[in-house]
Structure 1
Amino acid sequence: MNIQLFNDDCINVLKDLPEKSIDLIFADPPYNLSGENYLTTQNGKIAKLYKGDWDIIQDIDAFNFKWISECIRVLSDTGTIWVSGTLHNHPSVGVTLKKLGLWIINDIIWFKPNATPLLANNRLAPATELIWLASKTKKYYFNYELAKQLNGGKQMKNLWIINAEKHKTIHKTEKPESLLQRIILLGSQEGKTVLDPFLGSGTTGVVAKRLHRNFIGIEIDKKYFEIASKRIIDEVVAQELKFT
């Protein structure tokens, strides 16, 4: 399988990709959570939430419109785009998808039964993330029968109960491999091309390689790009050793 990794701003790379060349896009963009107004827990204590400078966006609507527009240009007519988020960026992404004329297929709720407890006593403990699923046309690829099979023979709902996993790297927003495996299996076929414009720690690339998809990953942060590259290369080596 072909793998291309770029340490760059995703806008720069996307502009050079051929139109309609991508079959599935999974994007885990900045949630814009970092800053003075948001808190988290660290070692059982309340702390200011800071994921990195990349998570501080001055105009979230303009930011989302820019990168999503480029993604839509490279997405095939039968492809799908999956965008994860929380209440902090999810409304902006949804409005942007509609403005760009996309067909909203689902809003998927990822429920984490083992989510981190909340120390504050003035609101409910967050235990979900949200995933927009959209396409350019109504003739998109979606493996409905496999979804039923993965759900014990019953129609799969848009509520996905998947535990958060212990992070394999130091990246603070790393997604579970089990989540990406479900998305890639349902939204693409072997030999097709998967794109992740915010590669992070490389989970999408690792799973795409494992499932025999071509992959393009873009990460702006050099430290995380090196971490992601190593993870993906290690997976490539493991797959090659497996079949020798």
Structure 2
Amino acid sequence: MPDIKLFNGDALEIIKQLQSKSIDLIFADPPYNLSGENHLTCKSGKIAKCDKGSWDHIDDIDEFNKKWIEECIRVLKDNGTIWISGTLHNHPSIGVILKQLNLWIINDIIWFKPNAAPLIQKNRFVPSTELIWLAAKSKQYYFNYEMAVRLANGKQMRNLWELSAEKHKTMHPTEKPEKLLERIVLIGSKQEDIILDPFMGSGTTGAVAKRLNRNFVGIEIDQTYYNIAQKRIENTNVETNLVQFLEKLTHKTSSQLDFYSTIEKSKNY
């Protein structure tokens, strides 16, 4: 069984307690700093003030991002990778900080949501994408290229990922779809690796990590969401037949894709 460690508290303070170079993969979906008097959203077909919670109110987004990213890099193994999700509200800040910390930026992945919610306002384009920064400490990092090819049905996987937004499994307002995390976990880690999510939310990363037999460290500051994540991860079963799971994921048989030789293929670039 995977080793699951969950913490309810401030991400920065808890990451400081983790051992240096102990984490294989980090997925972070930090606060986008969307909430505020001047930020609007759509609720039940009407324009409303955007307020996702106190955790989404950041006074100095650049300082906040630099502090938690620095600690994440400290605990990341030399061949590990960090994946950071964002929108136009915070991804420029993240990109600058990754450069300042002399990290190797591998890709900027664009997650395109073809079923994104329409806008009521008529003064801008419909937001239909999120960006995921993928970075490492150097050019020597784990990346399962063969797995990416198989997940892309035999073709090279591009950095434009067209994945429909899913109906949320919980009440968390910024919950990521499991199919998004399945790609990241399968390509960026091996079974029994340790995955860290410093902004765990409702536990999507933890549920996927456990299902795919990865160890997991999750941190969430909000007590309500922590409780939801804890229960969700506890109720997730480890996938006992990963080949069968991948066949379902790709709609291909093991004989067509030769999964046995690629599930745990290790490649450092």
Same fold by TM-score greater than 0.5: yes
Displacement, 1:152?
1.4
Displacement, 1:239?
3.6
Q: Does the 8 A contact of 2:112 with 2:128 survive in 1?
A: yes
Q: Secondary structure of the residue that 1:142 maps to in structure 2? A: coil
Q: Give the match for residue 167 of structure 1.
A: 168
CA separation of 1:240 and 1:85: change in aligned 2, threshold 3 A: closer
The correspondence of residues 16-55 of structure 1 with structure 2, limited to 5 A, is: 16-55=17-56
- TM-score (ref. length: structure 1): 0.96
Displacement, 1:36?
1.1
Displacement, 1:77?
0.5
The correspondence of residues 188-227 of structure 1 with structure 2, limited to 5 A, is: 188-227=189-228
CA separation of 1:240 and 1:133: change in aligned 2, threshold 3 A: closer
Q: Give the match for residue 74 of structure 1.
A: 75
What amino acid does structure 1 have at the position aligned with 2:69? I
What amino acid does structure 2 have at the position aligned with 1:111? F
The correspondence of residues 1-244 of structure 1 with structure 2, limited to 5 A, is: 1-235=2-236, 238-239=237-238
Q: Secondary structure of the residue that 2:33 maps to in structure 1? A: coil
The root-mean-square deviation of aligned C-alpha atoms, in Å, is 1.2
What amino acid does structure 2 have at the position aligned with 1:160? W
Q: Secondary structure of the residue that 1:65 maps to in structure 2? A: helix
Question: Across the two proteins, how many residue pairs are aligned to each other?
Answer: 240
Q: Which runs of 5+ in 2 are unaligned?
A: 242-269
Q: Secondary structure of the residue that 1:37 maps to in structure 2? A: strand
| Cα distance in 1, alignment partners of residues 176 and 76 from structure 2 | 22
Q: Secondary structure of the residue that 1:154 maps to in structure 2? A: coil
Q: Does the 8 A contact of 2:196 with 2:217 survive in 1?
A: yes
What amino acid does structure 1 have at the position aligned with 2:95? G
| Cα distance in 1, alignment partners of residues 54 and 222 from structure 2 | 10
Q: Secondary structure of the residue that 1:113 maps to in structure 2? A: coil
Q: Does the 8 A contact of 2:199 with 2:218 survive in 1?
A: yes
Q: Secondary structure of the residue that 1:78 maps to in structure 2? A: strand
| Cα distance in 1, alignment partners of residues 14 and 50 from structure 2 | 30
Deviates more, 1:80-89 or 1:5-14: 5-14
| Cα distance in 2, alignment partners of residues 194 and 80 from structure 1 | 10
| Cα distance in 1, alignment partners of residues 15 and 104 from structure 2 | 21
Q: Does the 8 A contact of 2:212 with 2:239 survive in 1?
A: no
Q: Does the 8 A contact of 2:213 with 2:239 survive in 1?
A: no
Q: Secondary structure of the residue that 2:183 maps to in structure 1? A: helix
- TM-score (ref. length: structure 2): 0.88
Q: Give the match for residue 263 of structure 2.
A: none
| Cα distance in 1, alignment partners of residues 49 and 187 from structure 2 | 37
Q: Secondary structure of the residue that 2:37 maps to in structure 1? A: coil
Displacement, 1:11?
1.1
Give the fraction of aligned pairs with identical amino acids, expressed as a percent.
Answer: 68
Q: Which runs of 5+ in 1 are unaligned?
A: none
CA separation of 1:240 and 1:121: change in aligned 2, threshold 3 A: closer
Displacement, 1:240?
9.1
What's the CA shift string for 1:184-237, capped at 9, x where partnerless?
Answer: 0010000100000000000000000000000000001111100100000111xx
